[in-house]
A = this chain, B = another copy of it.
Amino acid sequence: MDKRELLLEAATKLFVERGLHATPTSAISKQAGVSAGILFHYFKTKDDLIDELYVSIKKEYTSSILIDIDRIKSDLGKLRLIWSNSWNWAIDNDLKFKFLLQVDNTNCSERVKSHPEIITKVEKFNNFIQEYVDKELVKNIDTYFLMTSMFSLITSMVNYLTLFPELCHDQVFIEQAWEMFYNCLKP
């Protein structure tokens, strides 16, 4: 198997368990079952590894959000799919999601948040929300504020579902959570 991939996977696990700086590169290579030196063959520095890991996971997450979006006709249905895609991906990839949260809440994330591919994704999503503002399906307020509010609600839902996983399939809870989400956004 690709050792680069093994290293990224091991790093995700250890970073979430111990934190970025408390995880030595030696522990990452050990967890991945490869030699200590090879990490610096694939990544110039440890910070480089962190950056590449963040960007690749963020891309994976933002891509997952729009899955099957064209199979839905109604605007509200699309918004609901974005909502459920978001927390479903996070539940299915809890280590990766926790890694994103950890980095997003660190100042060192400034280094990587300005990555061009991520900025593009954010802009795309921004335009998507602007359409909803124009159609008067959501509040007429700055789209970036709408976006952060949306993702903060999704994040809190993911954290809650992580504590009570059985609720993932509880239709009553899911319906109430969606109601809260959309009530927050609607005009």
Identical copies in the complex? 2
Q: Give the CA-CA distance A22 to B46 in the complex, in Å.
A: 13
Pick the residue among B17, B141, B160, B186 that contacts A148 (CB under 8 A). Answer: B160
Q: Tell me the minimal C-beta distance from A104 to chain B in angstroms.
A: 8
Q: Give the CA-CA distance A183 to B183 in the complex, in Å.
A: 5
List 11 A–B pairs whose Cβ atoms lie within 8 Å, in order of A's numbering.
A17-B107, A19-B107, A21-B22, A98-B105, A104-B105, A141-B173, A145-B160, A149-B157, A151-B156, A152-B153, A184-B184
> What number of A residues sit within 8 Å (CB to CB) of B?
40
* Chain A binding surface, main DSSP class: helix
Q: Is A144 close to B, CB under 8 A?
A: yes
